Structure 1
Amino acid sequence: MTTPEARTPQAAPEARTPRADAARNRTQLLDVATRVFASAGAEPSMRTIAREAGVGIATLYRHFPTRESLVDAVYRDQVARLTDGARELLAALAPPAALRRWMELFGDWIATKNGMLDTLLTMIESGEIAHAQTRAELLAAIDQILGAGRATGELRADVTAEDIAASLIGIFTVAPPPEHEARASRLLNLLMDGLRATR
């Protein structure tokens, strides 16, 4: 005979939210991985990243089960910093200063990409990362700053986001950060001089 308790529907288990320390660990691992990728001459091992973060390899794999999942998280975080950064910089700085600071963020992104390039290229080729979408998002971020600068008359109206993106790629190709930071900074300043509107 079925008891009343057996007939009572069981409440669905509540969705568990990550513990605060687990969220902090993931953020720390992401920050450390970004720094290691940016400073590495060759793509670092997962064990190296775990050691730099001061955690065991099992902890790293618990948050990022594969190298691809870690690279994807770092890549998306860097793109978000660039896209969100355009708006945040404009809220705090005049458009030329915002653009100059954004260029430095772009350099950080390039350095980070170089440290995980093999895995990243494989993921782009397989379609795991949509390169065209990323490009469109970054161009939109540049356009946002350019539009603000045109509105104030501080930035030239005949320059496109594509022009700036191509210039930045060229600069960071001949002066890759962080080892050529001083040269890159000088070239970025020269680029900014050419982008300012003449009065």
Structure 2
Amino acid sequence: MPDSSAPVGLAEDVEDLKAQLRALAKQVKALTPVAAPHDDQSQLDEDPARDEPEDAERQFPPFILLLDSPEYEDELRALVEWVECVLVPGYLAEASADARWCHQWTDHPVAVARLHALWLSWQELTDPASCGYTGPSVWHRDHYDPCMRELRASTGPFQGCTKGEHQVAHRMPSLVPSAWTSTE
């Protein structure tokens, strides 16, 4: 006899969560080299912390501004390809005072960081195997729209850039806060 104290639909919610967990486990397995093949369901039943050595380095998407050469150049090259071949032609209309865009966006570290984060989320949320068919909608709502509002705003990183003029220094602080400096 089913538990009458459980909320209605709880069993379906649990099954949905299990399906999402299996999809995520499959994505992690595809992205992570595994020493020995495992069954997806057996991986879900096991504690992943037991299988992982304590000193193993975890793989996370890189934050582009923390990368050094040549990793930075490689990541930037891939980002430029996505921005110039997918984002700009598919999404960005003509720039205006209300919707700025700088074609030299790679000179703006804030823009590089935001666009890189947008690209990482696009990679994850446009794969139906990992996020279902609602991923692109989530990407637009949660990632693209807020990113573009910030980048293209009159106070954003392109605030001093116009079609005929490019400025980077307008976003750079003149002094670094004293807590950030070392006093040796």
Q: TM-score range by the shorter chain?
A: under 0.3
Name whichever structure is richer in helix by fraction: 1
Q: TM-score if structure 1 supplies the norm length? A: 0.26
Q: TM-score if structure 2 supplies the norm length? A: 0.27
